[in-house]
Amino acid sequence: MYLLTLVRIVMAILLVLAITSPASAHCIVGNRFFPATLIVDDPCVNDELSLPTIAGFKNGDQPSADELDISGEYSKTITERFGVSVGDTWVHLHEPGDGNHDGFDNLETSFKYQFIKSDAHEFAFSAALDVDWGGTGSSSIGADPFTTLTPTVFAGKGFGFLPENMKFFKPFALTAQVGYAVPTQSSTTALDAQTGLLTSTDNPQFLVWGGSLQYSFPISKRACRTWGCRTLSICSSRSSSSGLRRRSPT
């Protein structure tokens, strides 16, 4: 209850800051736009409201359950280089032989600092501390009763620096993130309903990583005016990307 009240206070402060300060909603570095994907965040500090983000998948439990996640996140810059975000996820599970379960997952906050943003080199680098607040979510969907801290680094690099003989690769860019999730408790003790005995389960630490290969159509269009090649006419600025993220237990 105390954590929920604290988060509400933090969100109220962020909303006040959003009204009283200018917004920077995109990760733009020079001529390069680094968009966030569903699984890999962008390497900048900015003002964003992501609502809703919907994902459905098999969650990999034994036996695997059908999971539907509906999440939202609000990010706000406090200074030009430092920002915070608050988010939560509503989860619906359909477990074989155990019916349906739904509820909110643990509240998440992130504190992010921008170390490098070089327009000339199309390069951005930042670091964040993500906090998953234990005990704020529903136990029916498996929300952890312990808090998890995940220090994470983010990087983005455009290929605009390539020489003219590799000009067709200049619209490409890479983004990546690497983090390490550390639970604040080494193990969790619970009462086994069938045996009536206390059982202890180790809380694993995880390497969390991901990346995306992106292609900028606006950069390609501008370049083709110089190179004399043909391209599609695209009026709005957008990038296409593909991403991959993994969580590796250690």
Q: State residue 151's pLDDT score.
A: 98
pLDDT tens column, 120-159: 999 999 999 999 999 999 988 889 999 999 999 999 999 9
For the chain, give the mean pLDDT: 81
Q: State residue 234's pLDDT score.
A: 34
SS3 9: helix
Q: Are 125 and 153 in contact (CB under 8 A)?
A: yes
Contacts (Cβ under 8 Å, ≥6 apart) of 223: 167, 170, 171
pLDDT tens column, 16-41: 554 444 445 578 998 899 988 878 89
Q: How far apart are CA 117 and CA 150, in angstroms?
A: 23
pLDDT, average across residues 169-198:
88
Pick the CATH number of 2-249 from 2.40.128, 3.40.630, 3.30.70, 3.90.950: 2.40.128
Classify residue 245 by burial, with Cβ atoms within 10 Å: 0-12, 13-18, 19+.
Answer: middle
What amino acid occupies position 25? A
Q: Is the pLDDT of residue 209 over 90?
A: yes
- Respond yes or no on whether the N-terminal peptide bond of residue 35 is cis (omega within 30° of 0): no
Q: State residue 18's pLDDT score.
A: 46
Predicted confidence band at 90 (pLDDT cuts at 50, 70, 90)?
Answer: very high
Q: Is the pLDDT of residue 224 over 80?
A: no
Predicted confidence band at 249 (pLDDT cuts at 50, 70, 90)?
Answer: low
Read off the pTM. Answer: 0.76
Residue 212, strand partner residues? 175, 243
Q: Are 105 and 143 in contact (CB under 8 A)?
A: yes
Predicted confidence band at 222 (pLDDT cuts at 50, 70, 90)?
Answer: low
Predicted confidence band at 235 (pLDDT cuts at 50, 70, 90)?
Answer: very low
Contacts (Cβ under 8 Å, ≥6 apart) of 182: 148, 149, 150, 205
Nearest to 85 by CA among 17, 11, 137, 177: 11
Residue in this structure with the two tokens 């180790």, named with its chain if needed: 202
Q: From its phi and psi, is residue 173 left (phi > 0), alpha (psi between -120 and 50) or beta?
A: beta
Q: How far apart are CA 64 and CA 61, in angstroms?
A: 4
For the chain, domain boundaries: 2-249
Q: State residue 129's pLDDT score.
A: 98
Nearest to 85 by CA among 23, 33, 129: 129
Q: Are 183 and 132 in contact (CB under 8 A)?
A: no
Sign of torsion, CA 236 238 240 245? negative
Contacts (Cβ under 8 Å, ≥6 apart) of 94: 65, 66, 67, 100
pLDDT tens column, 27-86: 899 889 998 887 889 999 989 888 888 888 888 777 788 899 999 999 999 999 999 999
- ∠ CA 124-127-128, rounded to 5°: 135
